[in-house]
Amino acid sequence: MKSLTNLLIAVSMLLSSFALHAQRTTEFFYLGNVYCKTKTGAEQRFPYLPVYLSLQDKPNDIIAVTMTNANGEASFKGIPIDPYKHHVISVHLPSGTYRFVRIPIEKNPGFTGNISTHIQLDAMEKYLTVSTIIPKKEDGDKLALDLATSAIKGAHRKGVTISDAEGLNYKL
């Protein structure tokens, strides 16, 4: 009876180690900064950008979406992931989509917690701009979007946003 108990314990330990490699878990999560190196060599972080998580074999099937915080940090804490599969982390910008493949863990690292996923983008001078436009008396009857379009040099409207000649997007 004792040998049968020991055998059952050994089999359950073996099966539980296989199960660890075959299921999604919240013990691991992706955490990292979205940043770039400027022309002067300084690190610039990007706050309030959407970051998407998907599997490499299905990059259009999004598992989760998060937003970078004020420090440019993106966290997928609490999202069930399988750390033993290839994941794709995507950052969508007006200039295009940046996709990064996250290499899976090959064996149990012996710890739980965050998996570093720092994302370095190409250097950009700016992706968000804030301007204050004070209407003149003769512009009192214009809509805000028309007023902003006329105030920004080379701007044209795209729905509820405005793009200037350099491709920078403005939103009221």
Same-domain status, 141 and 116: no
> Is pLDDT above 50 for 63?
yes
pLDDT at 19: 46
Q: How confident is the model at residue 22 (pLDDT cuts 50, 70, 90)?
A: very low
Tell me the chain's radius of gyration from C-alpha atoms. Answer: 24
Tokens, residue 114: 């965050």
Structural domain count of the chain: 2
Sign of CA dihedral 116, 121, 125, 131: negative
Tokens, residue 48: 């309030």
Mean pLDDT of 93-101: 81
**CATH code: domain of residue 114:** 2.60.40.10
Alpha-carbon span 111 to 122, nearest angstrom: 33
Contact 36, 120 (CB under 8 A): yes
- Structural domain boundaries enclosing 90: 24-120
